[in-house]
């Protein structure tokens, strides 16, 4: 019997949606969910295509990052996921992507104003941005730990890299990741229109 089988299946299903919704290309990005009862984390494996992942490929980690179950290597960003869960007891899922509009804004290096949107699934008026740090490093995990300490932050850009989104469920985190990409793309289009 596979440990946390239904949580693993949820990661698999939502990972495929990340690709279908255009938020992830190839093997980029990662997705995790927390099992509140055990405190274990289920996270996507490193360097596997989302449409090839099955529940047994999802890696189960404890809160210190030790592998409890799974034969694959966990995503190299697992320490950033652990750092965020340590700060936020309301968060049960985290999605990290390199979605195109998020990367475009991350290259500008400024926080993004969302106040023009009448519907706002991330429930914050601006998207903060953390400084550039190499993927998978403690430096990046510490930047994210600091920004997500604020309980009102559900999304954050990483300079020159991509975006982290959190939610109380995997579905909510995915809906927010979709909203952020749509909103940032709309801002790009509106800036182009303003040039005319």
Interface positions with Zn ion (CB under 5 A): 135, 162
Q: Least distance to Zn ion from the beta carbon of 90, Å?
A: 23
Nearer to Zn ion, 87 or 99 (CB): 99
Least distance from Zn ion to the Cβ atom of residue 187, Å: 21
Closer Cβ to Zn ion, 4 or 180, answer by number? 180
Do 86 and 108 contact (CB within 8 A), yes or no?
no
Shortest distance (Å) from residue 1 CB to Zn ion: 33
> E-assigned strands of 80-190?
93-97, 112-113, 126-127, 129-130, 155-158, 162-167
Between 15 and 162, whose beta carbon lies closer to Zn ion?
162
Nearest-approach distance from CB 170 to Zn ion, in angstroms: 18
Residue 88 or 96 having the CB closest to Zn ion = 96
Closest CA to 149 of 72, 63, 75, 91: 91
**d(C-alpha 91, C-alpha 2), whole Å:** 24
Report how far apart the first and last C-alpha atoms of the chain are (Å, whole number): 61
């Amino acid at each position: 019997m596979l440990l946390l089988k239904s949580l693993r299946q949820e990661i698999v299903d939502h990972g495929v949606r990340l690709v279908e919704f255009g938020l992830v290309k190839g093997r980029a990005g990662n997705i995790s969910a927390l099992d509140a009862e055990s405190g274990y984390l289920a996270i996507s494996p490193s360097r596997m295509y989302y449409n090839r992942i099955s529940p047994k490929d999802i890696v189960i980690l404890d809160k210190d990052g030790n592998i409890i179950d799974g034969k694959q290597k966990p995503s190299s960003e697992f320490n950033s996921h652990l750092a965020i869960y340590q700060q936020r007891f309301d968060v049960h899922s985290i999605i990290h992507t390199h979605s195109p509009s998020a990367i475009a804004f991350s290259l500008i290096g400024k926080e993004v104003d969302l106040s023009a949107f009448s519907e706002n699934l991330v429930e914050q008026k601006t998207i903060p941005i953390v400084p550039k740090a190499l993927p998978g490093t403690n430096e990046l995990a510490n930047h994210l730990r600091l920004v997500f300490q604020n309980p009102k932050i559900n999304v954050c850009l990483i300079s020159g890299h991509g975006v982290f989104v959190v939610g109380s469920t995997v579905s909510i985190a995915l809906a927010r990741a979709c909203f952020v990409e749509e909103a940032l793309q709309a801002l790009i289009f509106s800036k182009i229109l303003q040039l005319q």
